[in-house]
Amino acid sequence: MNSRRPYLLLITAALLYSINGIVSKWVMEAGLTPWRLTEIRTTGSLVALLLYLALKGRLPLLRPGKGELGLLTLFGVIGIAAVQSFYFFSILRLHVSIALIIEFTAPIWIVLYLRFYKKVKISNSMWLGLVAAFLGLILVGEVWKGLTLNGLGVISSFLDALSLAAYFVMGRALGKRRSTDTMLVWGFGITSILFAVVQPWWSYPFHIFKEEINLNGHFTGHHLPGWALIAFIIIVGTVLPYLCVLKGVNALSPQVASIIGMLEPVLAGVFGWILLKETFTTIQLIGAAVVLVGIFIANEKIPDEKVEG
C-alpha cells in the first residue's frame, strides 16, 4: 500500500465522521432519538454490506475461522455497540465537549497498553505528540465553559474511551485474518441484534423517513426527506468511514490511527462553523493548530511499531 494512503484514509474517515455529525444533528433535531438513530445506522450499514458481499459472491467469507468467533463477538459488542452506547449515555449526562475529550483519551490507553502489557518501545515523539494533541483538544472543546461533572457520566465516558481503544486494537488483530468488510458485517450484525432486543423494531418511528427535515444553519429554509438524510448517515457517515479506519489501522497501528482520529472534533468544529453558523473562538483555533502539530509529531517516527494480535 502507498505510504501516504493509510493517512489519507484515516483523514478521510475523520472528515466523513465530522460531516455525519452535522447531518445526524439535523435528523435528531427532527425528533429521532440518538438511540434510534444508532439502531437504524448500524442495521442499515449491515444490510448495505451484506448486499455488497452478495453481489461480489463473497458471503461464504463471513464464516468464522478457527478460534475467531470469540474475537469477532467482542469486536461487535465492545468495539461498536459499547462505543456508541457509552458515548450517547455520556452526552446525556455531561457537556458534549467534556464527553469528547474523555473519549479521545483512547490513544493514551492504547499507548499504555502497548508499553506496559505488550512491552512495545514507544518513541519520545509519540509521547510528546500525544500530549500536545490532547491538550489541543482541551482548548478546542473549551471544557472550562459550562463545566458540569456527573459521576455516572464521567465513568461512562472513560468506558467509552476504553471501548474505542479496544476497537482499534481488535480491528488490527482481526485485520490480519479477514477483510474489513466481513469484519464490519460481524460488528454491525452483533450490534444490530443487541439494539433490536433493547428497542424492538415494531416500535420504531418509521414516520421519520417521510418527514421533510429542516436543514438549519446556512441551509435554513431548505428541506430534505428523512430517508435521504438517513441513507447519507448509513453510507457516507458510517460504512465508508468505518472501512477507511480499519484499512488505516491495518496499514499503520492502533496508536497512530487513534491519534489521527483526534482530527474529528477539530473538523466537527470547522463544519459546525461553516454549515451551522457556530462560532469558533481564538482559543479554539489555537487548540486546532496544537492538535495538528501533535498529530504530526506523533507520526514522525512510528512506521516500524507493530502490534501483535
Long-range contacts of 275-282 (CB under 8 A, 24+ apart): 275/22, 275/217, 275/218, 275/219, 276/22, 276/25, 276/216, 276/217, 276/218, 277/217, 277/218, 278/217, 281/142
Q: Which domain holds residue 234?
A: 5-298
Q: Across the strands, what pairs with 214?
A: 223
Is residue 106 situated within a structural domain? yes
Is residue 308 situated within a structural domain? no
- 3-state secondary structure at position 215: strand
Is residue 303 situated within a structural domain? no
Residue pLDDT, tens place only, 67-86: 889 999 999 999 999 998 88
Residue pLDDT, tens place only, 14-60: 999 888 888 888 898 899 888 899 999 999 999 999 999 999 999 99
Is residue 309 situated within a structural domain? no
Burial zone of 158 (CB within 10 Å; 0-12 exposed, 13-18 middle, 19+ buried): middle
Is residue 215 situated within a structural domain? yes
Provide the domain count of the chain.
1
CB contact at 8 A, 150 and 95: no
Categorize the per-residue pLDDT at 309 as very low, low, confident or very high, splitting at 50, 70 and 90. very low
CA gap 186, 171 in Å, rounded: 12
CB contact at 8 A, 123 and 297: no
Residue 50 has what pLDDT? 96
CA gap 175, 180 in Å, rounded: 6
Is residue 306 situated within a structural domain? no
- State the pTM of this model: 0.84
Q: Does the structure show a pLDDT above 60 at 293?
A: yes
Is residue 25 situated within a structural domain? yes
Residue pLDDT, tens place only, 223-275: 999 999 999 999 999 999 999 999 998 888 888 888 888 888 788 777 777 77
Is residue 135 situated within a structural domain? yes
